[in-house]
Amino acid sequence: MTDYRLLEEQIKGLAEISGEMVSLMSNASALLYEALSDVNWAGFYIVRPDATDKTAQPIVSEPVLLVGPFQGKVACVRIEKGKGVCGTAWEEDKTQLVPDVHKFPGHIACDSASNSEIVIPIHHNGEVVAVLDIDSPLLGRFTEDDKVGLEGFVRTLEKCMEYN
């Protein structure tokens, strides 16, 4: 069982040194990747203007999730609202606990080794500004206890991170 209280203390300690978003997300993904057993990806997608869509018309398009700091294999760069597990967590503003990603309609497979996933929305001023995404090669890797623990971790991160 992961010691989420310890992880919260560790992220608080890191935030006392710097709460800068990229720095804190980088160390948060490293902490989670080390502390959780059987995970093959841990990191963040950040809500951003869709500047990377080279096919978009010059008129400003809707914001998307762009990949942020993470640990694991090279991942999908941009995810639209409502797409995949991450885009669903963003649209619904609700944690997605997915015991079998192959049964999740529209799941985006970044690493074919992934079988289960949890995605938690991150807020600033009441809006979803990013999501925390963790993947596992095991089916049903994430439990209700992990959900509660990771949501607590994200609440701590929201309090100490300087969003930019």
Residue nearest to ligand SME (CB): 84
Q: What is the CA radius of gyration of the chain?
A: 15
Q: Is 86 in the site for ligand SME (CB under 6 A)?
A: yes
Q: Using an 8 Å Cβ cutoff, are 131 and 90 in contact?
A: yes
Site string for ligand SME, 50-79 (x = CB under 6 A): -------------------------xx--x
Q: Is residue 107 part of the contact set for ligand SME (CB under 6 A)?
A: yes
CB closer to ligand SME out of 110 and 161? 110
Give the pairing of strands 41-48 and 127-136.
Answer: antiparallel
Q: What are the φ/ψ torsions at residue 3 (nearest 5 degrees)?
A: -90, 85
What are the start-end ranges of the E strands in the chain? 41-48, 64-72, 78-79, 96-98, 116-124, 127-136
User: Is 108 an interacting residue with respect to ligand SME (CB under 6 A)?
Assistant: yes
138 binds ligand SME (CB under 6 A): no
Which residues sit at the interface with ligand SME, rule CB under 6 A? 41, 75-76, 79, 84-86, 107-108, 110, 114, 117, 133, 135
